[in-house]
Copies of this chain bind each other. A is one copy, B any other.
Amino acid sequence: MTSKLAEMEVECIAVTPDAEKLIELAGRTAYKSFDKITDESAGEFIRRIVKNGHESVLEHAVASFRISGISRACSHQLVRHRLASYTQSSQRFVDETGATYVVPPSIQNNEKVLKLYWNHLHNVEAMYDLLKQEGIPNEDARFVLPNATATEIVMTANFREWRHFFLTRGDPHAQWEIRALACTIFRQFQEFAPSVVDDLCIYEHRSAGLIIDRVVEE
């Protein structure tokens, strides 16, 4: 039995087709300005509504991500975003034997502490096994599993909420793990909906590492 390191994985499993065109099509309903739509008009339209704070139009486009290899500490924060939908692997129903574990950088970078950390996780796994052998059900045996235990979750949100997520969780004060998650998802948005996040950028912060912030206009 060897405790295993979790690796964060983020896969976009669904996104509104032609999301930027849909946003423009929906958004132009307010003024009935459909005649202004061209093959290239969506980008400018979206950058303008974002600049003017009319973000409700962004809600018509939606993206879903499968997120795995994050800690339960991270997922407990994640599900606090109430304008989103979640399906998470359940420690009540799934046997967590063979689970993987997240290691914080402050521990990863300290050889002595890291050894003690993994040793502790081995003891946790042994304890979980023992509880299972004694007939304790999954939902109660999990009481000994630590925050470090990796989980898997599918999260769906509209583009307005994802922007809110980028700004609050990409902030230097956010936990390092959820901030890394925000950056990863942000990069995927830069691919499939660049105009929606065109006013935001990933920066190297002096102490916090990578963060998301508004682009500074010169």
Contact = CB atoms under 8 A, between A and B. Distances in A.
Most buried by B among A66, A85, A90: A85
Given A14-B17, A152-B32, A85 B60 contact: yes
Interface residues of A, number: 74
Interface in A158-175: 158, 175
Contacts of A107: 131, 136, 140, 143
Copies of chain A in the complex: 4
DSSP majority for the A interface? mixed
A31 B87 CA distance: 10
B30 A87 contact: yes
B87 A32 contact: no
Interface stretch (A115-123, A182-190, A191-199, A200-208): A115-123
11 contacts: A25-B154, A26-B66, A26-B154, A31-B93, A32-B94, A56-B86, A59-B156, A76-B79, A79-B79, A103-B143, A117-B131
